[in-house]
A and B are shown apart, each in its own frame.
Chain A
Amino acid sequence: MQPVMILARLAWLRLWRGRTKWVTALLAILPPCFAALLMTEKDDAVEVWQITLFFALRAAVLLAVAVHLASSVGDELDSKTYTYLWSRPMRRSAVLLGKLLAIAPTVFAAFALSLTATWLVVFQDQAGANLEWLLRGLAAELAVVIAGASIALATSALVPKRPLAFVLGYMMFLERLEFVPFLQQISIAYHASAISAAHPPSFVVGTATSGVIGILVLSTFWLGLAIWRVENAEYALPDG
């Protein structure tokens, strides 16, 4: 566990001093702005909250996680910095888990602030009476961050070249299976909708419990795949 913590510190330092944090900041600003705009069109606060959360979880949160984690392995390979890490007494997967430990709470915190701001914008003086919407929204956000991070890490391990394109492709096509019966079980967004209860009335979802179980299964599968791949793959290319 100790190498994971050390690598989490490394990932955190790089995040803090790097540029990608601004992508998260920019994406986190979108939900309250989007909600404020919707408020000018619609009178029903609950409907505005549901629409905003529906898109925030599918687009902004997933994208933020992907931007930070999809190139976890590719970055190390491109800059060859993996040579410093994997020649040390540590499991290779510690690199992935360290990044997960640094990035996931950061993205969650950024969007927790964002969703809280959105909730305040939407419900205004009725916010206290609608606290459950916020709590379920935050729970769904946490689920999306964890499952999205697992998928991004698996992609980084499986497809180190152009992983972001693959993750975006996944988000645009496979995630849309949320609308297809049975196949919807492999969609993060489908389970997030069940947890948040923020979805169009015509969209049939499971219970919050089934949503949590679904997210746990998906996260375990993808994270397990990421760990298996990075422990067993040989990424090095022929050189001198």
Chain B
Amino acid sequence: MNAPVRMAAPPIHIEACSKWYGQVLGIQDITLTVKQGVVGLLGPNGAGKTTLMKLLAGLLRPSRGRALLFGLPVIDDLQVRRRLGYAPEHEGVYDELTAREFVTLMAELSGVPRARARDQASAALVDIGLENAIDRRLHGFSKGMRQRTKLASALVHDPDVILLDEPLTGCDPVARANIIARIRALAAAGKTIVISSHVLYEVEALTQEIVLVHRGRVLAEGNVYRIRELIDQHPHRVRIECDRPRELAARVLGEEHVVRVQFEDGAVEIETRSPDRLYDAIPRIVLDAGLAVRSLGSPDDNMQAVFDYLTTATPSKPGKPQKGGK
């Protein structure tokens, strides 16, 4: 009687899960269901993303609640882990092995028969763009190459659920494009993929579905554009370094969405209620005034600022996730 229930169970379900490391909180009371496709797990460093990933990978036992893969507790059910691929955040690998040996052994440990494991490992490494380094020792691999090797080891046994902890960290643009293309292909093939990152634009390149984690809790979940809207409801700062910041400020103040300007050394910081409209206006103003812009950026383009906005927005409901909607 259990089989139909398990067939219908979502690939990932976390049920009122909490994890403490002694007195230190990892995650607190997280309930989350992930269906097919790519979901981005976003949060600043120390938010609890890796703890959540380790709970889902069966590396940690929840202090309270359950972490289920296809309806089965991943910490206790060894067989369900055949359907799991996990690429951890760290760079550690077995340096004495070649990439092919490492991925072959990982394939065998995931249940791939020895006769097929080597071929599947080779194919996984070629897929991820490591065909020229396949028989080189991991000891000499760059950070980006290690990232790709880890990814190959997570994918070699064709798992249904793939957990990728900061998969783009340390990758050069070519490797990054390669990994993004591979993840998109896996999503198109019907896999369930969870990607953690502390960089919003990395996740935006891969999915529209995100879960925001902050201080061990899910702060918001849903469509990335809705999350963006939530963020954009709050003033957003843009910092521009140019040759005549006062002239730029004078022109920008004509825009009705600009709330405040502030001068710094050779730069102006503009606070706006509509970042998109400000980013549209800036090139026009710069061209009209003939300004020489040295740099343009937002002090708010980091996850901590995003979470500061959201935690300020929901002070009365700590830990209650905002539904982003679809």
Contacts and interface: CB of A to CB of B under 8 A. Distances in A.
Nearest to A81: B92
Interface string B48-92: 111100100111110000000000000000111110101011101
B54 A236 contact: yes
A87 B94 contact: no
Contacts, number: 89
Given A10-B94, A84-B88, A86-B58, A238 B82 contact: no
A240 B47 contact: yes
B110 A238 contact: no
A89 B81 contact: yes
B135 to A, nearest CB: 14
A7 to B, nearest CB: 8
A180 interface: no
A80 B94 CA distance: 10
A161 interface: no
A10 to B, nearest CB: 5
Interface string A1-19: 0110011011001100110
A240 B94 contact: no
Contact of B88 (A2, A7, A9, A83): A83
Contacts of B105: 6, 9-10
B108 A87 contact: no
A240 B57 contact: no
A25 interface: no
Nearest to B153: A84
B101 interface: yes
A98 B62 CA distance: 27
B45 A240 contact: yes
Nearest to A19: B96
Interface string A85-98: 11111110000000
A82 B86 CA distance: 12
Interface string A66-91: 00000000000001111111111111
For chain B, which range describes its interface: under 10, 10 to 19, 20 to 34, or 35 or more residues?
A: 35 or more
A79 B58 contact: no
A236 B78 contact: no
Contact of A80 (B21, B26, B88): B88
B106 interface: yes
A19 to B, nearest CB: 10
Interface string B89-109: 110111011000100011011
Contact of A239 (B50, B61, B79, B101): B50
Contacts of B58: 86-87
A236 B60 contact: yes
Given A80-B92, A90-B78, A240 B48 contact: yes
Contacts of A7: 109
A236 B109 contact: no
Contacts of B86: 83-84, 87
A205 B74 CA distance: 51
A225 B196 CA distance: 36
Contacts of B89: 239-240
A26 interface: no
Contacts of B51: 238-240
A83 B82 CA distance: 15
A234 B20 CA distance: 11
A87 B81 contact: yes
B234 to A, nearest CB: 25
A43 to B, nearest CB: 48
Contacts of B78: 89-91
Given A13-B97, A14-B94, A89-B78, A6 B59 contact: no
A85 to B, nearest CB: 7
A237 interface: yes
B111 interface: yes
A87 B84 contact: yes
Given A86-B58, A88-B109, A90-B109, A238 B21 contact: yes
A131 B236 CA distance: 87
B111 A89 contact: yes
8 nearest CB pairs, A to B: A79-B92, A87-B57, A17-B96, A238-B21, A240-B50, A83-B88, A80-B92, A88-B109
Interface of B: 21, 24, 26, 43, 45-51, 54, 57-61, 78-82, 84, 86, 88-90, 92-94, 96-97, 101, 105-106, 108-111, 153, 196, 198
18 contacts: A3-B109, A13-B97, A17-B97, A80-B92, A83-B57, A83-B59, A86-B59, A87-B58, A87-B81, A87-B86, A89-B80, A89-B81, A89-B111, A91-B78, A237-B21, A238-B26, A240-B45, A240-B196
Given A234-B61, A240-B48, 8 more contacts: A18-B96, A79-B93, A83-B54, A84-B86, A88-B106, A89-B81, A239-B89, A240-B51
